């Protein structure tokens, strides 16, 4: 019987299909027999390499650090809030171990800038500010003092410790407190972007009429930190010194607000300080253009910023203390034996730096 063209086509197709199947099976059989007999090789780390040096990376030598283990189940007797509702820590004495923190920040090799303005009569405060900062501020860490002054020739002669540097920058003075605060925020925001960000990791802004009385170290450092004002500590919202003029850029309603922060001591990462001071400067200028004067030039705008940009760490009133406030009922409720560690203290006005020197020596 003669095959038709159609039957010939199907026969060739079947042969081709069987050939491809056989070839595939042969390939998998070869792979199973040949590769199955090979044993995997494991690359073991040689003891001579360890972690001492890998290419350009070198090991960081860390000294042994001893400290008490943190105990999570011991109840605290003090009636102090240690954390905000947005989970930012509130730093009180005894809530941190500075040895651990120092070790961590040393590993990061951080540098801290301390910004202070000393213009006009306030130059008289500068010497003791720097002397006490050398004793108590960021001990053992790299520090740059950025001193803005309109009287460079009146700068006190003071040689900073190793790892510290003083940078003198010219500034303008003004008899008007509002212009002084506007200028200060403008300068800090400008230099944060143009210079500070290239030279330091953190920035601390302080008033020149402060005196460091105890250690103020890396426990304060965070993305953005503020300091609780002792005068308004524990008071309800309606009694806080927020700006109440609705037309002001610093306006905070009576049913808003968390805490009242001091304008004399704040800081954080340089970029965050730039954002804060830029907002304050622009808001101040806007109010000034609209002929609006707030009650607290140095704090109203700062508190408005912190209302919407929550600090990532808050310093207790110990960091801005006035011993005269100890008789306040609100403090008596939270202080053990009415005692609180004074870390930073704001001095009342005096006419000459000699008075500071005398008071400072008597307080030691």
CATH code where residue 108 lies: 3.90.550.10
Q: Is residue 234 part of a domain?
A: yes
Work out the burial of residue 161: count CB atoms within 10 Å of its CB; fewer than 13 is exposed, 13-18 middle, 19 or more buried: exposed
Is residue 364's pLDDT more than 50? Answer: no
Mean pLDDT within 256-263:
94
Q: Which pLDDT score, from 0 to 100, does residue 329 have?
A: 55
Instruction: Name the one residue in this structure whose structure tokens are 């890396």.
Output: 218
Identify the CA nearest to 347 among candidates 150, 127, 165, 188.
127
- pLDDT of 71 reads 58
Q: What is this structure's pTM?
A: 0.76
Within a domain: residue 50?
no
Q: What is the pLDDT of residue 264?
A: 94
Nearest to 202, CA basis, from 269, 301, 142, 129: 269
Mean per-residue pLDDT, 265-275: 98
Domain that holds residue 264: 90-362
Q: If you average pLDDT over each of 5-9, 62-66, 157-161, 194-198, which comes out highest? A: 194-198
Identify whether 75 is part of a domain: no
Lowest mean pLDDT among 47-56, 106-115, 294-303: 47-56
Average pLDDT over the chain, rounded to an integer: 81
d(CA 59, CA 49): 12
Predicted pLDDT at 43: 35
In a domain, residue 328? The reply is: yes
In a domain, 74, yes or no: no
Q: Is 325 within 8 Å of 231 (Cβ atoms)?
A: yes
Rounded Cα distance, 209 and 39, in Å: 76
Q: Please give the residue that has the higher pLDDT: either 53 or 314.
A: 314
Q: Which of 219, 243, 299, 318 is catalytic?
A: 299
* Straight-line distance from the first to the last Cα atom of the chain, in angstroms, rounded to the nearest whole number: 125
Nearest to 356, CA basis, from 177, 137, 202, 130: 130
> Tokens 């189940």 — which residue?
73
Compare 322 and 326 and report the one with higher pLDDT. 322
User: Which DSSP helix (H) or strand (E) runs through 354?
Assistant: helix 353-362
The mean per-residue pLDDT over the stretch 114-134 comes to: 94
Phi, psi of 307 (to 5 degrees): -65, -40
Asked, for residue 7, whether it belongs to a domain, the answer is: no
Where does the pLDDT of residue 360 fall: very low under 50, low under 70, confident under 90, or very high at 90 and above? Answer: very low
pLDDT band at 4 (very low <50, low <70, confident <90, very high): low
**Contacts of 36 by beta carbon, 8 Å cutoff, 6+ apart:** none
Dump pLDDT digits (tens) for 228-247: 998 888 888 999 999 999 99
Q: Is the pLDDT of residue 331 over 70?
A: no
In a domain, 120, yes or no: yes
Q: What is the helix (H) or strand (E) element at residue 167, kind and residue range?
A: strand 164-170
Name the residue with tokens 């830029």. Answer: 278
- Is 138 a member of any domain? yes
Q: Is 47 a catalytic residue?
A: no
| 213: nearest Cα among 112, 135, 121, 123 | 135
pLDDT of residue 5: 56
pLDDT for res 68: 64
**Number of domains comprising the chain:** 1
- Give the dihedral of Cα atoms 123, 167, 265, 81; nearest 10 deg: -140
DSSP 8-state symbol, 295: S
Judge whether residue 220 has pLDDT over 80.
Answer: yes
Other C-beta atoms lying within 10 Å of the C-beta of residue 266: 25
pLDDT above 50 (res 339) = yes
């Amino acid at each position: 019987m003669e095959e038709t063209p159609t039957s010939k086509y199907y026969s060739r197709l079947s042969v081709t299909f069987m050939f491809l199947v056989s070839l595939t099976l042969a390939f998998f059989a070869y792979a199973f027999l040949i590769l199955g007999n090979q044993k995997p090789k494991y690359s073991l780390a040689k003891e001579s390499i360890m972690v001492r040096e890998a290419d350009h990376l070198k090991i960081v030598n860390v000294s042994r650090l001893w400290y008490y283990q943190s105990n999570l189940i011991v109840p605290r007797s003090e009636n102090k809030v240690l954390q905000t509702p947005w989970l930012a820590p509130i730093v009180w004495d005894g809530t941190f171990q500075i040895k651990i923190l120092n070790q961590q920040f040393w590993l990061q090799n951080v540098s801290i800038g301390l910004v202070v303005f000393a213009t006009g009569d306030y130059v008289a405060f500068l010497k003791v500010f720097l002397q006490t900062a050398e004793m108590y501020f960021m001990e053992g860490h790299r520090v740059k003092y950025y001193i803005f002054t309109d009287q460079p020739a009146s700068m006190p002669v003071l040689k900073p410790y190793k790892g510290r540097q003083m940078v003198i920058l010219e500034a303008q003075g003004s008899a008007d407190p509002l212009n002084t605060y506007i200028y200060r925020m403008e300068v800090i925001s400008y230099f944060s972007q143009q210079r500070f960000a290239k030279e330091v990791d953190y920035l601390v802004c302080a008033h020149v009429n402060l005196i460091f009385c105890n250690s103020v170290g890396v426990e304060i450092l965070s993305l953005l930190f503020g300091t609780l004002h002792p005068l308004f500590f524990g008071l309800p919202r309606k009694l806080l010194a927020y700006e109440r003029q609705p037309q002001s850029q610093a306006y905070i309603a009576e049913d808003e607000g968390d805490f009242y922060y001091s304008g004399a001591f704040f800081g954080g990462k340089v970029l965050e300080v730039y954002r804060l001071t830029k907002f304050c400067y622009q808001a101040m200028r806007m109010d000034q253009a609209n002929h609006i004067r707030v009650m607290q030039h140095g704090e109203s705008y700062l508190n408005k910023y912190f209302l919407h940009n929550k600090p990532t760490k808050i310093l207790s009133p110990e960091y801005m203390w006035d011993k005269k406030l100890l008789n306040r009922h609100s403090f008596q409720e939270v202080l053990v034996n009415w005692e609180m560690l004074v870390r930073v203290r704001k001095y009342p006005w005096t006419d000459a730096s000699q008075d500071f020197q005398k008071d400072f020596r008597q307080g030691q």
